[in-house]
Structure 1
Amino acid sequence: MSTFINGKIFTGADANTFASAMTIKDGQVVWVGDTSDVNDSDAIDLKNQTVLPGLIDVHTHPKYIADALHGVACTPPNVNSIADMQEALRNSPAFGQGPNTWIEGWGFDETKLAEHRTPTVDDLDKVSTTQPIFIYRSDCHSSVGNSKALEMAGITATTPDPVGGFIGHFPDGRPNGYMKEVAATQLLIKAKSAQSYQADVDNMVNSSDHYLKNGIVAIGEMMGRIRPYDSLKLYQDSVQAGFKPKTSIYYVYDEVAGNNRLQPTNDDQLRIAGIKVFMDGSISGETAYNSQPYPSGKQGVSLTNATKLKQAVEYAKQHDLQVAIHAMGDAAIQLILDTTDNMKPWLSDQPSIRIEHASILSDRMLDQIQAATMNYALVTQPIFFFAEDESYRSYLSPEQFKQIYRVKSMMATKAEFALSSDAPCTPWAEPDSPFVNIYAAVTRTAVNGDIVNPSEAINVPDAVFAYTNWPAKIGGFHQNGLLAPGYAGDFVVLDQDIFTIPHNDIKNVRVKETWMVGKRVYKVTK
């Protein structure tokens, strides 16, 4: 049993409830109150520091992050050109390690590169032709590989496009290394993952401290896979080897359709929670499915029609699973609402359908969500406009831009609401920093100083709720989200008081300590 005193403890009960002391026993909070009521010489002094319930990133890609942590950040502020990218890849610890060692990178956005184009196989071959190279685009939907990576994936000039994906080619027909959208990117990922399952487990375990450093005690894995191995097995083996964050897994529907073995589980540490459906791509990649065309004339890609969406929903209902639906473009979101708004919810303890990103929402859509029979959740990422403001300004009409990441309006509906990172799928060196995301939601300020739809700003307590209490309800982390008797003893100690510092300083907040089940699992070292 441990008792903590002299803290500013945000319990999560409401925006104004703080305590100064609490007791954790057998991994659970058993008492919350005032320091003056404590008579324990062994009590741990919090030294007036601010304490929050353990943070929850309910939409992220831990496998991708595990890969990225030993890869190269191809993002601003350090990588601003293809030449910078080549140099960064040459400085990767993987460089020169032999023909079976992949050199990996993440986060490039061609609009932020000096050349204003996607790197090609020829660009990457200047780094190495003997080691495979794989780089995620910032949206994690698309990627680029060198000639060795293409060879290992069996991609040639005659390889057909996978359903929902596109293999890029030079004018002469030769593959140019660009793999557009998830289905094409998976061709390279499967070749990479086939190399060493144990390496993937090791990478996952090594990523555990990354989450704890950010105060994240629970995560939603939004890219569960059956092939080349089952994601559940990856997590089971990783947890056994020391991976600490609690995890809900959402399997990509295209991989599990017809698989009757996928059933929900309720383990607090690791659970199967739902399925993931892709409606479209990304705004910065001009693949989000929009009602108005991009300046190039494109309208994005529609990956799932109403018939297939209904099939996915029916599958989820039959298996008591949640449906998480990726939708960034307004046409994609409208299709979800028109298809599902009058359906009867099948889950009673959490939303049956999650709309992920919900990047462009009109007033009509918000009204439709409010009037719907279906119980929705809206899970969104202001860090996108923080890091990608120029792309949004360039690719969206003024009317559409006014409708991006409407967090205050989302909260005004009856839908459950949460903030999340979608990390590492945004061009920022700290893609899953909760405090950068909270800063963007509160200040509506992009990294370039642009003010983005300030009427949609929310206050700090609500932004904290959106990383604690609310995502716990959405993601099925029922023991988390509050510091109250009966809840998990998971909490974080901050280096600044997020509730009182100037809003412009929120992005600089750091976690000093992270505790899980009453035990300290991370402490900052100077």
Structure 2
Amino acid sequence: MRSIPTFPQSMRPLVVATALALAAPTLLAQTPAAKPAPTPAVAPPATAKPAPPTTPASPPAAAPVATAGPAAPADPNAPPPAPPPPPLSDIILTNGDIITLDDKRPSAQAIAIKGTKIIAVGKSKDILARWKSDGTEVVDLAGKTVVPGFVDAWGQMSRLGLATVAAQLQSPPEGTVTDVNGVLRALRDWSRGDLAQRFGWIVGVGYDDSRLREQRPLNRSDLDSVSRDKPVLIVHASGRQVVANSEALKLAGITRDSIDPPGGSIGRWPGSKEPDGVLDGAAAVALLGSLPQLSKDERMAMIQQGQSLMLESGYTTAVEARATPDDLALYTQAADAGLLKLDVAFYADLASAGSVLKGHKSIGPRYYKNRLRLAGVSFALDGVAEDRSAWLTQPYQLPPPGKRTKFAGYPGATDEVATDLATRAWANGWQVAVQANGDAAIDQFIGAIRAAAARHPAKDRRPLLVGAQTLRDDQLDALKEAGASVSFAPQRLVLSKPALADYLLGPERTARFAPAGTAHQRGIVTLLHADPALTAPSPFGAMAAAVKRPVGEDRQLAPLDALKALTVLPARQLGEEKTKGSIAAGKLADITVLSANPLKTPADKLGEIRVTGVVKEGATVFGGPDGGVPITR
């Protein structure tokens, strides 16, 4: 097996597996014993009469002595000796609790690997008897659990790296910020660091007003108390809202005379046109464009850091969603330099990057090149319910400050724009993935893909709906008819339930929030992705939230279905179900080793499961602190 360099700091040295030596018995040659020599006659005493003469006996014939002849000269034309036969398998993982997610063989004890692929799965004694030979490395898993490598359904790997270097504003359980003062204190502390001095801005991530004690959004006055001279910016956990101080608004050119952009909103002080610092949707994107740009080396380091976080979480395939042309160029550079240790599927932002995709020579929709592949295109139709930017058919329980009573969010695009984007994707043969959380935005998504399919009929296009927080039961049949899959982030219900029930959606809609179990029961391909508010992906957090909901228990997923929603079904969505997502002969050796079996672990204990090792195509790419996967090749 090939050895792949591991990553700095986060990786641990791998334990060397002990090779088993077989001793061949030696055959000892035996020779016949020689006859004893005759005993010489003893001379008679001097006084004795001489003995009568005797006829001497003939001496025994001497045994012929073999002599070595001259050595035969070597034939210079003789072919070289045949090399030893290659091993039947390179690696055998044995003595494990293997969850294959292959319906033909749901569980196993051992896996045989040859090169980059799995060649056999079964019982330990059978695999060893059939596939072990000289040169095979046998790895004892010591009872650890093995699952297929996790496949990301929706994420932004490069953004994970960025999130780790900004001020951390997450609330429990991911962070420690519990109130407004905690947010401001974290920003002040971060502003004293070296990165803040070099960057020139004070930036925080993971802020979520619905989980603060005051349950109110921060505003420019709050952030002015951190600094009036430097721009201050905090990014909401949803990724769709930011809050800026006065200096940041000034740099972005946002004033009382600015108008709301399509698909966005500029917050105002009550009874005034003066901006209050809260920017939603497209308005937030405009301000983010004012941020100073990191160097290519720094951005490449962010990709490396994001990759490390994905590997530590057990993923062997990542997704870069809503990717810009700059992202495309940077990932292509990383791929060409051999820096990608897991596969990265690219969903390009259609509005900004669609024009550069056609005919791009570095990546394509069919195969990976240096671990990079174009999965499809993407766009967003609204925001999220937590910051009241999801577009609903019915108003929010309480409107945000300064909004009318019947406020129901707002669309991210008109029906015409949504249909045009979907039609462009269909016309070019690109799979389309669309973020839509409000039920009005989901109606728009359904209408857009129906129109696109009518103009460009094609089979099995697998459109993907991402988020679907307020998906209605009556929309499920339309999604199934369109062949759409749905990816949910169920952790948001666990983290934001009080705010969702009390003043965002109300109890009834909260009980239906992100209904993964209902979608699965209706026969829709149901996926799970990690919460975007987290600084590291958490497949077991997503699994736990889907298996045990705080409300709406009838919409839960069974543990096995939840695990499939993190492995084999995202692989299907990417069109890679023949090579990934389950442990079976012929598939890639993408394997994650766990400290415990997630199908036998209570939902409230799933978060305690550790990833102890990750194998990508037969090579160890991550080893945990307790030994990892002891593969030496």
Same topology, TM > 0.5: yes
- AA aligned opposite 2:178: N
- 1:318 Cα deviation from its structure 2 partner: 1.7
The DSSP-based 3-state class of the residue aligned with 2:474 is helix
Q: Aligned partners of 2:458, 2:596: CA distance in 1, in Å?
A: 39
Question: Partner residue of 1:251?
Answer: 348
Match of residue 88, structure 1, among 186, 198, 205: 186
8 A Cα contact 1:369 1:413, kept in partner: no
In the alignment, structure 2 segments of 5+ residues that lack a partner are 1-89, 400-405, 627-633
8 A Cα contact 2:263 2:382, kept in partner: no
Question: Partner residue of 1:378?
Answer: 486
Question: Partner residue of 1:438?
Answer: 543
The DSSP-based 3-state class of the residue aligned with 1:17 is strand
- Seen in structure 2, the aligned counterparts of structure 1 residues 482 and 176 have a Cα distance that, compared at 3 Å, is same
Matches within 5 A, 1:61-80: 61-77=156-172, 78-80=176-178
Match of residue 484, structure 1, among 584, 604, 620: 584
In the alignment, structure 1 segments of 5+ residues that lack a partner are 445-450
Q: Aligned partners of 1:94, 1:489: CA distance in 2, in Å?
A: 46
The DSSP-based 3-state class of the residue aligned with 2:277 is strand
Q: Aligned partners of 2:541, 2:313: CA distance in 1, in Å?
A: 11
TM-score normalised by length of structure 1: 0.89
- 1:493 Cα deviation from its structure 2 partner: 0.8
- AA aligned opposite 1:187: A
Question: Partner residue of 1:367?
Answer: 477
- AA aligned opposite 2:471: L
- Seen in structure 2, the aligned counterparts of structure 1 residues 22 and 306 have a Cα distance that, compared at 3 Å, is same
Question: Partner residue of 1:23?
Answer: 112
Question: Partner residue of 1:103?
Answer: 202
- 1:349 Cα deviation from its structure 2 partner: 5.7
Q: Aligned partners of 2:323, 2:484: CA distance in 1, in Å?
A: 21
Match of residue 499, structure 1, among 592, 599, 606: 599
Matches within 5 A, 1:382-401: 382-394=490-502, 395-401=504-510
Question: Partner residue of 1:142?
Answer: 241
Q: Aligned partners of 1:167, 1:456: CA distance in 2, in Å?
A: 36
- 1:387 Cα deviation from its structure 2 partner: 1.1
Matched, 1:271 2:360: no
Please list the CA deviations of residues 150-174 of structure 1 after superposition, one character each: whole Å capped at 9, or x if unmatched: 4444444444433322233446655
Matched, 1:308 2:404: no
- Seen in structure 2, the aligned counterparts of structure 1 residues 313 and 236 have a Cα distance that, compared at 3 Å, is same
Matched, 1:334 2:443: yes
Question: Partner residue of 1:448?
Answer: none
8 A Cα contact 2:319 2:347, kept in partner: yes
Matches within 5 A, 1:41-80: 42-77=137-172, 78-80=176-178
- Seen in structure 2, the aligned counterparts of structure 1 residues 29 and 192 have a Cα distance that, compared at 3 Å, is farther
8 A Cα contact 1:279 1:304, kept in partner: yes
Question: Partner residue of 2:61?
Answer: none
- 1:453 Cα deviation from its structure 2 partner: 0.6
Q: Aligned partners of 2:602, 2:220: CA distance in 1, in Å?
A: 46
8 A Cα contact 1:281 1:328, kept in partner: yes
Q: Aligned partners of 1:516, 1:132: CA distance in 2, in Å?
A: 43
The DSSP-based 3-state class of the residue aligned with 1:472 is helix
- Seen in structure 2, the aligned counterparts of structure 1 residues 255 and 512 have a Cα distance that, compared at 3 Å, is same
8 A Cα contact 2:348 2:354, kept in partner: no
After the TM superposition, which of the residue ranges 203-212 and 36-45 deviates more from structure 2? 36-45
Q: Aligned partners of 1:485, 1:292: CA distance in 2, in Å?
A: 50
Match of residue 332, structure 2, among 236, 239, 262: 236
Q: Aligned partners of 2:459, 2:112: CA distance in 1, in Å?
A: 31
- Seen in structure 2, the aligned counterparts of structure 1 residues 156 and 197 have a Cα distance that, compared at 3 Å, is farther
- AA aligned opposite 1:302: P
The DSSP-based 3-state class of the residue aligned with 1:105 is strand
Question: Partner residue of 2:403?
Answer: none
The DSSP-based 3-state class of the residue aligned with 1:23 is strand
- AA aligned opposite 2:157: P
- AA aligned opposite 1:42: E
Q: Aligned partners of 1:195, 1:51: CA distance in 2, in Å?
A: 39
Question: Partner residue of 2:427?
Answer: 318
- 1:257 Cα deviation from its structure 2 partner: 5.6
Q: Aligned partners of 2:104, 2:529: CA distance in 1, in Å?
A: 20
- 1:382 Cα deviation from its structure 2 partner: 0.9
8 A Cα contact 1:98 1:131, kept in partner: no
- 1:430 Cα deviation from its structure 2 partner: 5.7
The DSSP-based 3-state class of the residue aligned with 1:12 is strand
Q: What number of residue pairs does the alignment pair up? A: 509
Q: Aligned partners of 1:493, 1:336: CA distance in 2, in Å?
A: 38
8 A Cα contact 2:589 2:617, kept in partner: yes
Question: Partner residue of 2:36?
Answer: none
- AA aligned opposite 1:457: Q
- Seen in structure 2, the aligned counterparts of structure 1 residues 513 and 99 have a Cα distance that, compared at 3 Å, is closer
- AA aligned opposite 1:413: R
Q: Aligned partners of 2:388, 2:279: CA distance in 1, in Å?
A: 14
8 A Cα contact 2:354 2:377, kept in partner: no
Match of residue 420, structure 1, among 511, 529, 549: 529
8 A Cα contact 2:465 2:484, kept in partner: yes
- AA aligned opposite 1:281: G
Please list the CA deviations of residues 350-375 of structure 1 after superposition, one character each: whole Å capped at 9, or x if unmatched: 51x111112223332123334x2x21
8 A Cα contact 2:381 2:411, kept in partner: yes
After the TM superposition, which of the residue ranges 203-212 and 107-116 deviates more from structure 2? 107-116
Matches within 5 A, 1:111-260: 111-170=210-269, 173-181=273-281, 183-192=282-291, 194-226=293-325, 229=326, 231-239=327-335, 240=337, 242-256=339-353
Please list the CA deviations of residues 204-241 of structure 1 after superposition, one character each: whole Å capped at 9, or x if unmatched: 11221111111112122222113xx2x21121233436
- Seen in structure 2, the aligned counterparts of structure 1 residues 94 and 42 have a Cα distance that, compared at 3 Å, is farther
Question: Partner residue of 2:9?
Answer: none
Q: Aligned partners of 1:386, 1:15: CA distance in 2, in Å?
A: 35
Percentage of pairs with the same residue = 25
8 A Cα contact 2:210 2:496, kept in partner: no
- Seen in structure 2, the aligned counterparts of structure 1 residues 15 and 187 have a Cα distance that, compared at 3 Å, is farther
- 1:440 Cα deviation from its structure 2 partner: 1.0
- Seen in structure 2, the aligned counterparts of structure 1 residues 292 and 83 have a Cα distance that, compared at 3 Å, is same
Q: Aligned partners of 1:400, 1:117: CA distance in 2, in Å?
A: 21
8 A Cα contact 2:149 2:614, kept in partner: yes
- AA aligned opposite 2:478: Q
Question: Partner residue of 1:355?
Answer: 465
- 1:35 Cα deviation from its structure 2 partner: 0.8
8 A Cα contact 2:321 2:348, kept in partner: yes
The DSSP-based 3-state class of the residue aligned with 2:199 is coil
Larger Rg: 2
After the TM superposition, which of the residue ranges 40-49 and 291-300 deviates more from structure 2? 40-49
